[in-house]
Amino acid sequence: MHNTDPAMPILAISGSSGFVGNALCCELLVRGYAVRRIVRRVKESPRSSPLTKVEGEVKGEGVPVGDIGSDTNWSNVLEKVDCVVHLAARVHVLKDTARDPLNEFRRTNTAATEHLARCAAQAGVRRLVFMSTINVSGTKTTGAPFTESDPAHPGNSYGISKWEAEKALAHVANETGLETVILRSPLIYGPDAKGKFPMLIKAIVHHTPLPLASINNRRSLLYLGNAVDALVLAATHPIAAGKTFFLSDGQDVSTPELIRQLAAEMGVPARLLHCPPFLLRTMGRLLGKADSVSGLIDSLQIDSSAIRRELGWAPPYSLEQGLRATAQWYRNQR
C-alpha cells in the first residue's frame, strides 16, 4: 500500500521521464512518498522501472512545464511541494552540434536551475536537491581521489554550467533560506542507460577488439540503484541541508577490469589488445575523440566517505551486482 494522505509532503521530480528520474519516482512511490512528476511535455508517459516494479501509480501523466529555462512557469508544479529533486539537465553529448555549446549548457543547467530555486523558495518549498556532476571537480585524478574539500576545477562546458548552478543555488539559499543539497556523481550506469556504457557493452558483445589492455587507471562509477537510494536520503535526511556530497559505488575499477567483468556477465570473451596510452591519446586527438579516449584511459576517483559518515549512507548494491543487473537488462533488449 502506498500512502495517499493528501496532507503528506510532496516530492516533485524534474527530469522524471529520464534514466535516473523514472527510477527515482518509482522507488519513492514504493517507499510510500507522494510524488509529483515534472515533464516537459504531456506525451512523456511514465513507465515501470527495471529496479522497482510499481503497479498503478506510474500510470497517468505528469505535470508538463515545457522547455526548461530561465522563464519556465513552475506555478502549477510547486504548490504544496516539500522538496524538489532537480534532475533535468542538458548533459554532455558525444557529438554536440550547438554553435555555442557552453551557452546552451548555461541556459539549461545554470539559468534554469537558479530560476527553479527562486520559484521554489517563493512557493514555500523547503528543500531542493540538485544532481550535479564530478566534472565540477575535474575530469581526471592524478593522485588522491576527489573530495568535497577540493577546489572546483571544471574541465568542460558541462562541468562549468553545473558549477555555476551550484554557486547560484548557494546565493539563493543565503537569500531565501531554501535548503539545498548538492550531489556530485560520476558516470551513472544501469538498466535503461543511454550513451557510453551500453555502447561499451555492445562493443564487447560484438567481439570488437579493444586496445585497452595496457591501461592502468582507476575509475569511480555509480550504479543507478545506488544513485536513487542516495537521492532519497538527500531529499529526506535533516542533516543533509546545505551540504554537498560526492557519490560512488565505493569500488573503483580499471577500464580493462570493467571490460573483463562485463564480458563475463555477458558470457563472451574480452578481446583486449595492448596499445601504448600515448598512441591512444594521439589517435583520439586526430579523430576528434580526445574526450572519449580520456574517459577510457584516465583515472577519475571519488571519495564518497562523507555521505557515508554524515548521513549513514551505505550503497545497497555492489559494483558486481550493478554490472550483473546492467548486463541482464542488455541481454533482455536483444
Which residues are marked as active site?
Answer: 158
CA 11/CA 176 separation, integer angstroms? 20
3-class DSSP state of 164: helix
Contact 171, 31 (CB under 8 A): no
258: which 3 cell numbers?
570493467
Taking alpha carbons only, the member of 212, 220, 219 closest to residue 277 is: 212
Query: Helix, strand, coil shares of the chain as percentages rounded to 5?
Result: 40, 15, 45
The helix/strand/coil state of 283 is helix
Q: What element of type H or E holds 10?
A: strand 10-14
What is the distance of C-alpha 225 from the center of its chain?
11
Q: Which three cell numbers stand for residue 248?
A: 560512488
What gap in Å lies between CA 32 and CA 28, rounded to an integer?
6
Residues 163 and 136: beta-carbon distance below 8 Å: yes
